[in-house]
Amino acid sequence: MLALSVVLVLLGAWTYRQVEASLRDLRAATMKSLLDSEVNALRVWIAEERADAERIARDARVREEIARLLAAPRCAPEPRVRLEAAIRPLLRDVGDATFNVVDREGRFAANRFAPYCGLAAGAEFHALLAPVFEGEARFVPPFRDEARVAGATRVREGPPLAWVAAPVRDASGRVIAALAIAQPANAVFASILQAARPGESGETYAFDGNGRVLSAERYGQKSRFGKEPHAVAFEPYANHRGAEVLGAARWLPEYGMGVALEIEAQEAYAPLRYLRIAFGVVFGALVIAVLAALGTAFSVIRLRRELGGGGRLGAYRLIERIGEGGMADVHLARHDLLKRPTAVKVLKRAHATDEMIARFQREVQMASSLAHPNTVEIFDFGRTRDGLFYYAMEYLDGLTVGDIVAQRGALPVPRVIHVLRQVCAALVEAHAKGVVHRDIKPENIMVCRYGGVYDHVKILDFGLVKQVAEKPSRDLTRSLRILGTPLYMAPERLRNPADVDARVDIYALGAVAFLMLTGRRLFEGGNDLELTSRILNDEPPRVRALAPQVPVELDLVVMSCLEKRREDRPQRVADLVEAFDALAVEHRWTQREAELWWSSLPKKNEP
């Protein structure tokens, strides 16, 4: 035992040093990756805001009204009212809070807060607008009005505002003013900063060149970071709450600000604390550890038997695993008494947190509330004595749309119409009940031989379904940021995962239709970030450019579903049902054609 203890001590000390070094490297890599993701997301958002500001500044009526405003006596009410009427609809489109017009002398010619009219811009704010008068749109980090407006006797209440300023030109092309459009620092700007927060105690914020924090809730507080291109602090330091934290930052000279991430040292190095505790009790708990290991081994063996062939879940005997996902596995099973084949979805024990259990239960409840024949039918829901949650659903003899395209390439036009029409019919019922699927993709559309009918469609996997009439819990909403398939996500969902309605399913349906008709994905990207950027900014290719045999009418339907602004898409799935019905008259897919296709597949054993 003494020799064993010495070996364990030496092994423990070596292990501790290796774990500490590896943990530091891992934490550094993780925070760098999160910081890169955060900076890229911020750049995408700023680029979009600059494009919107430039578009508004180029609007003919806006330019005309600003020219009249500058020619009129300073702070005359009539020109400001006309400019407000011209610019208000454009601001509503981009969702911004307010605007300012600053003339070349650096004075506010118009804004939505009347006391500022005619006052001079603060020196720092005016300096940041200098490139705008040279013809370049600029992003201006958040400012409080005390610093932005010089000599104001009454200051607007509310959070600091981040600005995007664009040049306004007269008929000769000369820049005559700067049009600045604002976003509250606690709105989209703050949500982007918090999208990649590290861990439970993590925090992400922006700071200026003097180290002042620009996030609304901490505006003006001092950060430890400055203008270093890259900075990492892996020795703990005290943050604004007095907590010991680690941090990483990057300075963005093109925006005049930096982005920093911080995480409490206790959370970052939590595994080391657990390792020290383990070393402290290892000798006294040696026998208990051995017994616990044996007990764990028996539990693992039993769990493997349950999840492998010959295991049981309630009244179901598991035959084989037929699918595996991140949070759950799907097994082919047979009911003891009914003897019918059944698909049983089992939540993995490692993911059985309160949040995942709630999501699993919600998936079952919402899916079982739908009765359309093109929606998968739920039979049963339960929990084993060992705490495994599962539900049983109908077993389908078929292939997913993703499998079919992978095996055979693009589908014939009549078959695509036939399949999409059934998907839309199922979504009509779901949307009528206020249920949005949010994960329509080729892998969740099953084409089956069902009750003697060929090419019958079933919609699967309601794991991301949302009841739009109910407000989701905070935890479920936060987790939503990382769940789902980006390629089939609508632009508005990528910008704000909580802001969804039935039109996100319509966009996803268009992306699926594009794949089925062309055999190619709508967008390609080396990673999710690049793919997201293309979805947000690039125009989708036309279907007929890749598949000339596709009818013009079908091409137009698909492209209308892929509009980036949801207001430009079809507003109801029922409208798509009517469109596909009309197309099916000329492009009919018969049961005989479907049967011939299915008969060409290799035979497989029946369950």
Catalytic residue numbers, as ranges: 439
Distances 534 to 319, 541, 547 between C-alpha atoms, Å: 43, 12, 21
| Tokens (6 digits) for 356 | 């995942």
Distances 191 to 39, 315, 318, 495 between C-alpha atoms, Å: 13, 47, 45, 10
Q: Residue 468 in contact with residue 431, Cβ under 8 Å?
A: no
Q: Residue 458 in contact with residue 547, Cβ under 8 Å?
A: no
C-alpha 426/C-alpha 350 separation (Å) is: 33
Give the residue from 533, 532, 534, 551 showing the smallest Cα distance to 542.
551
| Torsion angle (degrees, nearest 10) of CA 329, 335, 338, 343 | 10
One-letter amino acid of 22: S
Kindly report the length of the chain: 607
| Tokens (6 digits) for 481 | 């940021």
**Beta-bridge partners for 223:** none
C-alpha 34/C-alpha 196 separation (Å) is: 6
Element (H, E) at 576: helix 573-586
Q: Residue 397 in contact with residue 449, Cβ under 8 Å?
A: yes
| Tokens (6 digits) for 130 | 């200098």
C-alpha 359/C-alpha 353 separation (Å) is: 10
DSSP state of 441: -
**Beta-bridge partners for 383:** 389
Element (H, E) at 167: strand 161-169
C-alpha 531/C-alpha 148 separation (Å) is: 38
Give the residue from 112, 219, 110 showing the smallest Cα distance to 168.
110
Give the residue from 546, 549, 521, 545 showing the smallest Cα distance to 535.
521
Helix (H, G, I), strand (E, B) or coil at 231: strand
